[in-house]
Structure 1
Amino acid sequence: MFTDDLTIEAPKLHGAAATPTPPPGAAADWTIPQHWERFTSEEHRVWDLLFARQQELLAGRAVRAFHEGLDVLRLSRPGIPDLDELNERLFARTGWTVVSVPGLVPDDVFFRHLSQRRFPAGNFIRSASQLDYLEEPDVFHDVFGHVPLLAQPAVADFMQALGEEGLKALRRGALDRLSRLYWYTVEFGLAREDGDLKIYGAGILSSFGESRFSLESPDPHRPAFDIGRVLRTRYRSDAFQQSYFVVESFDELLDSILETDLGALYDSLADEPDLCPSRA
């Protein structure tokens, strides 16, 4: 019942190989002007359709902080948010801004943006024929999925810390480990809230099919969040997840990265076998 509407959106850190120079028209940090005025009425219509559909679907399914953070997206005009207006609201809350990029960016560029409290968003939107499937994250996934929780202080700090740790992991050759932490939290994390499981991962929040599957299907495992176990667990980007790690709070998530020597943990796991997500 769930596989008919499949949306899988890989995080940027597994989508772009390192490239020595940015594409034409992009700055050295791969950012580009949004040119909000160039989006067509059809592109704005697709955003409004996706927004309304997901907002209705996520009622009772997403964490409270997501619904509270949606306020930063309720702007003066319908359609794709104007980032100038969005950033004014978001920066006032947590010091984050959203920057436009042409698409997937190299890992070092991506993590450097996060470390400086900037979230890269693809400056394009899926077509009406692709509502339920997209290989590359678009502005809906990046802004609707990520930005509301960037208005939450603990998540905002966790994302900055992930950026800093991502740059360290690149230098250590440990990106495969760090990418699992990103995947199972930022993209596909669940949280326990008032005794119930709720969604906070952007890959689920922006997916019509996985929003239901992650909470309602009896198939996936839903183990308690443990950073060592997360770093050992493989994942697939071409199917719904077989495991969703559950945090008890965003403070727990933030503490897990601030209080863990990830470099030492990478070393301790070097001889440990990877875990299959179906048995995590």
Structure 2
Amino acid sequence: MTATAPSPDWTIPQDWEHFTATDHRVWDDLFDRQTRLLPGRVAPEFLEGLQLLDMTRPGVPDFARLNDQLMALTGWQVVAVPGLVPDAVFFDHLANRRFPAGNFIRRPDQLDYLQEPDVFHDVFGHVPLLAHPAFADYMQAYGRGGLRALEYDAIARLSRLYWYTVEFGLIRSGDGLAIYGAGIVSSHGETLFAQGSPSPNRLGWQLERVLRTPYRIDDYQQAYFVIDSFDDLLRVTLETDFGPLYRRLAGSVDIPIAAILPDDRVFTRGDQSHVVETV
């Protein structure tokens, strides 16, 4: 297929027909593996989103069909892009309730890892929660905040919020912890690690703490932050004036990823369904 030049907002036609039988088989293999693994580990809202958006159909989703259902639920839509897009473009899409998804899928020999987000990560990982009103509003608020962060030269700070919530977030669920971040739910290995490994810290989510904590992209996470609810995440984000916060943090020292501070809430796994919180 001849590559389509992106528009000023980097969107391109999905051209669903360009996906091959091998592409659809890769999607189905990844989808089957993750949907077998996730029940009991992922936030219930994620599984509800899969059903509400009829994402159990085989093959790479057709964005036109997917968007009809997503728009009706929360006013969001998925737009195809050739790959990673500039920060300003990405934030503008989110601020206008558009989620950019890479218009390609990994090869069969790349099921366990792909450096650049593909359509499986972007659509399977991110889109189900966009059917949830509070999380959908949070994503739009993040996009608007990103456009403002450009004015403060604070993208590096704000990217940590995205990383530790949208990509690698955990949430309290009953007596335990559930995963919801797209970087976890779309990864077989990280799902097992985030849920079961004793090595990473699982800390109570606190906005300023997150903005001071760097992250790594070359390995499983050393720290996960746990939100109490999507409503609480949205509330704190909407009620915070980020401008003064950026100025206050401008001279602060980053907190090492593996550090535990005296006032951190620490969650320790007792078993698969129960956690103990300590301060």
Which TM-score applies when normalising by structure 2? 0.90
2:21 to 12, 18, 41: 41
Secondary structure of the residue aligned to 2:224 is: coil
DSSP-derived class of the 2:80 partner: strand
Q: In 2, Cα distance between the equivalents of 1:109 and 1:170?
A: 11
Residue 203 of structure 1 pairs with residue 183 of structure 2: yes
Alignment of 1:1-280 (within 5 A): 25-74=5-54, 77-280=57-260
How many residues matched? 258
The aligned counterpart of 2:272 is none
TM-score by length of 1: 0.90
CA RMSD of superposed structures (Å): 1.2
Name the amino acid aligned to 1:211.
T
What are the Cα deviations for residues 79-135 of structure 1, in whole angstroms up to 9, with x where unaligned? 000000000000100000000000010000000000000000000000000000100
Q: Which runs of 4+ in 1 moved over 2 A?
A: 72-77
Equivalent-residue separation in structure 1 for 2:72 and 2:165 (angstroms)? 25
In structure 2, the partner of 1:6 is: none
CA distance in 2, matches of 1:129, 1:276: 35
Flag the structure with more relative contact order, 1 or 2, with Cα contacts below 8 A and sequence separation at least 6. 1
Counterpart-to-counterpart distance in 1, 2:126 and 2:52: 11
Shift of 1:25: 1.7
**Which segment is superposed worse, 269-278 or 43-52?**
269-278
Structure 1 residue ranges without an equivalent (≥5): 1-22
Cα distance change, pair 76–253 in 1 and its aligned pair in 2 (3 A): closer
Distance (Å, rounded) in 2 between the aligned partners of 1:184 and 1:81? 27
Query: 1:74: how far off?
Result: 2.7
> For the structure 1 residues 145 and 75, does the alpha-carbon distance in structure 2 shift closer, same or farther, using more than 3 Å as the test?
closer
